[in-house]
Amino acid sequence: MNPQVSVDPDMGDPEEPIPNQSIMVLLVDDQIMVGEAVRRALLDEVGIEFHYCSNPLDALAIARTVQPTVILQDLVMPSVNGLDLVRQYRTDPHTRNIPIIVLSTKEEASVKSDAFRAGANDYLVKLPDRIELIARIRYHSAAYLSQIQRDEAYRALRKSQQELMQANFALQRLTNVDGLTGLSNRRYFDEYFETEWRQAARDRQPLSLLIIDIDHFKQFNDTYGHLAGDEVLRKVAQCVQAAFRRPKDLVVRLGGEEFVVVLPATPMSHLAMLGQRVVDAVEALDLAHSSSPVSDRVTISVGGAGCQPDREDRRLALMEAADKALYEAKRSGRNRAVIDRGL
């Protein structure tokens, strides 16, 4: 089957091109006889589509549209210097990688050198032997198509890698986030607390904790139901999160109705004020709790502790001290903050 051929008006009526042809040849030459000779040379070649441009001023626009796999470019034309046109192909993002075979009547080494320096891939003295011409067209087109496939494969790989990174990030976030409140979860707390402890030890900065518990939460669930209890957990979580806005402050849902706040670079002298502030903020939410013996509103108890990190074994002691303070806050009436100063 003969290849389909499209030509410019100077060579007669164009025929319809075959879609998705592997090889597309664009010849730019002002001599119609050269165009006809190349067309005839390629006529019986399966899989090669031929495009001809007799006006070099239109060459770049046609190349952008046709997207050939190889350009046959005459050097000597009346209106445009062939080497200047080669340079234009190389500076245009749509054509800069397309192989260019320069056609010239000259055999001089200096002319060839200028052509290669301008960006040509190959050089043929016209009119070239048919077999050699077809071989070079196929060779350069195959290399160009292989490069396109590699580029597409690379782009697909990069896209897949980015999608995988995004999926991994989303998965990592899900594994570190409490599904009900949107706060960090216990798993992330363990990692973060360890990291901040070591950082504080290196920087010789204090590290503090506040442990928060919703007062009489079981009675709330018994009275209002678990759906209402979940809503209270979310609102309290948002309230506590809003109370600690420094970039490194971390609010965590430990589980059930218990929360913890990691406060890097926070001395113990600040804890009483910070603890009372969050107690007051939760009470100000004005969430009804008719079964609470403390108040007719939802309240929290807070225990805090802080220290200057040094040995790793003291990290657990800090957590235990804050938990001990929370127990004391509950024992002494709830709806308050107590700070353990034993460390």
User: Known catalytic residues?
Assistant: 257
Long-range contacts of 246-250 (CB under 8 A, 24+ apart): 248/196, 250/184, 250/189, 250/192
**Residue 112 near residue 135, CB atoms below 8 Å:** no
Beta-ladder partners of 76: 81
User: If you ran DSSP here, which 8-state letter would residue 18 be given?
Assistant: P
Which residue shows structure tokens 């090889």? 23
Which residues have CB under 8 Å from 327's CB, separation 6+? 303
Pairing of strands 100-104, 70-74: parallel
Q: In sequence order, what DSSP letters do the residues of 245-260 get, joined into one string? A: -STT-EEEEEETTEEE
Instruction: Determine whether 333 is exposed, middle or buried from the number of CB atoms within 10 Å of its CB (0-12, 13-18, 19+).
Output: exposed
CA angle 3, 51, 81 (to 5 degrees): 150
Q: In whole angstroms, what is the distance from residue 5 CA to residue 23 CA?
A: 12
CA–CA dist 249, 247 (Å, integer): 6
CA distances from residue 299 to 53, 273, 336 in whole angstroms, order as listed: 83, 17, 9
Q: How far apart are CA 114 and CA 118, in angstroms?
A: 6
Please give the Cα distance from 22 to 141 (Å, whole number): 8
Burial code of 257-270, b = ≥16 C-beta within 10 A, e = fewer?
A: bbbbbbbbebebee
Structural tokens at position 102:
């320069």
